[in-house]
Chains A and B, each alone.
Chain A
Amino acid sequence: MSLDIVQMVLVTVLAAATPLILAGIGELVVERSGVLNLGVEGMMVLGAAAGFAVAAWTGSTGLGALGGAGAGLLLAALFGLLTVVLAANQVASGLALTILGLGLSGLVGAGYVGMKRDPAPHLDLPGLTDLPGIGRLLFGHDAFVYAALLLVAGVWWFLWRTRAGLTLRAIGDDHAATHALGLKVRKVRFLAVLFGGACAGLAGAYLSLAYTPFWAPAMTAGRGWIALALVVFASWRPLRVAAGALLFGGATVLQLHAQAAGLGLPGQLLSAVPYLATILALVLLSLGRRRGGSLAPAALGRVFAPSR
């Protein structure tokens, strides 16, 4: 393989990983605060529909991205109301959110079927983007890709270098104790849920505005679920979410390349590779880790109802 093909593959992998990174990093913050939101797919697909609708209406991709994030945020607010304020079961509420999001996205997007927009513009720095071998990889993406990477760095910095991040993690580990210390458990969790929703919505908008710039029903095709899995896979660490997304995207893209190169294996087996690889990686990770002690936020998924 020539250097150019390698670069092209890597560019594709990064683009394929971007929606997973965006949705995954948002969900990571949610789960770090102790809330499990399984509704990522629903928020994502609504973000895709709303993002496209806003962009088509205003003519601006940027506003479309904001619209997508806003739609995800609104749907997440509903989830927050149910689970954080009313202490409803998180798993079931998340699944309900998925159904609601799928339905709403169809209603929102109905008027935009068969419409096309130009994809979000890619960075083009004279001289730099044309550098052989690495130019496109470093300097040739659209704004979503850079935003996703910045977001990973930002979340890492927030969680491990700020007081607010420490508070959020502490709440995710023990809501009773942190509540007793006077920390605002429900407020922090609600904000985390909103952040996760905005990220998922943005991930959806990336799909309908940049990756494949049109709206089609259920176009997220299960990426929200993959993002959820990635958070666990990454043992709730931001940098590993990015790494996992690249691994998963890489496995998907490489199996397509393997087919194009004429490997002659059953397509079903190759399509299963990314899922099997994820399980395998997980097993290897836990073999390498010392036994004892889960890495999950201790209060994850558990209901918190302050009684004072």
Chain B
Amino acid sequence: MGSIVTRLAGALLCAAVAAGPARAADKLKVGFVYVGPVADYGYSYQHDLSRKALAEALPGAVETTFLENVPEADSERAIEKLARSGAGLIFTTSFGFMEPTLKVAKKFPTVKFEHATGYKRAGNVSTYSARFYEGRYVCGKIAGKLSKSGTVGYIASFPIPEVVSGINAFMLGAQSVNPDIKLKIVWVNTWFDPGKEAEAAKALLAQGADILTQHTDSAAPLQEAEKAGKLAFGQSSDQYRFAPKAQLTSIVDDWNGYVIQEARAVLDGTWKSHDSWGGIKDGMVVLAPFTNMPDDVKALAEETKQGIVAGRIHPFEGPVLKQDGSVAVKAGERAPDPMILGMNWYVKGIDDRLTQ
């Protein structure tokens, strides 16, 4: 053991002399840290598409690199590794990377960081996220129109605000066209487990749901719906090819525009720390083509989408009532962003209970 300690100390000394600041590269190095495998065909996959789009959009100016499957507990090292390898702009794409991102950012003040779905910023740390709930509101309208049984199944991952606000927006959309609609929610406690997601889908279908929607990443629920001759919504990426007879639309995360815009800003020297929360209007939330529905529903969905883009429609337009009947958003008002960002309550009409 002693020898290891001396060796370590010796190596530390040697390296202390050799190590300097990261070398400046001619091209802007852009690093990405993913929480899942790039092959998940869901959240991390979509982010990796934006990395490839960036490489294509600015071929001479940027060089991209990524680390996949990074566990939260290991993320500080992964992010620092990217910073040390000369990256000038680093996207940390999962909420769990928030504190590690801030810590590394403090050490590397000249490197710019972009953290997805978090809420803490610094001089060189921006945050960005997408208003997925806008897409879910549109989906809710479609489901409310199309459900014959009046029961919709919702496969949920973890009770975080993004998921809860998605459930609420979906329910409000559905209630706007069918006030008696019922929502059955199953929490699977995972972002990705095709088998379990399929089991949840089967359970919901067996209990009378004829439309499924999900906030988990695999295409398994869609396939279950297709098998049962029912309908469903995709998630994260356009999953039409998995279920051409079942997919109504899919809420697609499209980070391409944002990633390219931020890289450009760094190259131009105009990058500033900011928070962006883009929706359908900004092209960050994209709805896959409306399929497997009659024309009038398609028209309604299109109209709702355009209404959101134009600012005429807001999913959390008052009056919004909480489960217990208390008023969350008064008539004529719209839910402010902080309320949506921290949402931990259900709207009236949902008979699931949230863990508090």
Contact = CB atoms under 8 A, between A and B. Distances in A.
B242 interface: yes
Interface in B83-115: none
B189 A268 contact: yes
Contacts of B190: 221
A262 B182 CA distance: 11
13 contacts: A9-B206, A113-B39, A212-B198, A214-B194, A219-B194, A221-B192, A252-B196, A259-B203, A260-B186, A260-B204, A261-B184, A267-B187, A267-B189
A65 interface: no
B199 interface: yes
B206 to A, nearest CB: 4
A224 to B, nearest CB: 12
A255 B37 CA distance: 28
Contact of B185 (A110, A113, A212, A259): A259
Contact of A207 (B41, B185, B195, B227): B195
Contact of A113 (B41, B184, B227, B351): B41
B219 A264 contact: no
Interface in A200-249: 207, 211-214, 216-219, 221, 223
B195 A223 contact: yes
Contacts of A12: 199, 202-203, 206
B353 A264 contact: yes
Interface residues of B, number: 40
A213 B223 contact: yes
Contacts of B353: 264
Interface of B: 37, 39-41, 45, 153, 159, 184-190, 192-200, 202-204, 206-207, 209, 218-220, 223, 227, 241-242, 351-353, 355
B354 to A, nearest CB: 9
A219 B206 contact: no
A56 B105 CA distance: 45
Contact of B203 (A106, A218, A253, A271): A253
B350 to A, nearest CB: 9
B223 A212 contact: yes
A214 B219 contact: yes
Nearest to A261: B207
Interface string A169-197: 00000000000000000000000000000
A262 B189 contact: no
A221 B196 contact: yes
Interface string A5-21: 10011001000100100
Contact of A114 (B37, B41, B223): B41
A109 interface: yes
A202 B355 CA distance: 39
B184 A16 contact: no
A119 B223 CA distance: 9
A256 B218 contact: no
Contacts of B184: 260-262
B194 A257 contact: no
Interface residues of A, number: 38
A161 interface: no
B198 A211 contact: yes
B202 A106 contact: no
Contacts of A270: 187
Contacts, number: 114
A16 B219 contact: no
A271 B223 contact: no
A8 B206 contact: yes
A165 B202 CA distance: 39
Contacts of A213: 223
A207 B202 contact: no
Given A119-B227, A211-B195, A262-B184, A8 B355 contact: no
B153 A260 contact: yes
A256 B220 contact: no
Given A12-B203, A16-B199, A106-B39, A221 B355 contact: no
Contacts of B37: 106, 217-218
Give the one of A119, A256, A271 with max B CB within 10 A. Answer: A256
Interface string A90-118: 00000000000000001001100110100
Which 3 A-B residue pairs are closest in the complex by CB-CB distance? A267-B187, A264-B353, A212-B194
B47 to A, nearest CB: 15
B355 A216 contact: no
B46 to A, nearest CB: 12
A114 B238 CA distance: 10
Contacts of A221: 190, 192-196
A257 B203 contact: yes
Contact of B39 (A211, A216, A271): A216
A127 interface: no
Contacts of A116: 219, 223, 241-242
A264 B188 CA distance: 14
Contacts of B195: 16, 19, 207, 211-212, 219, 221, 223
Given A207-B194, A212-B195, A110 B39 contact: yes
A266 B355 contact: yes
Given A8-B202, A113-B41, A212-B220, 17 more contacts: A12-B202, A106-B39, A116-B223, A116-B242, A212-B194, A213-B223, A216-B40, A216-B41, A219-B218, A221-B193, A221-B194, A260-B153, A260-B207, A260-B209, A267-B187, A267-B188, A267-B189
A256 B203 contact: yes
Contacts of B45: 113-114
Contacts of B200: 256, 260
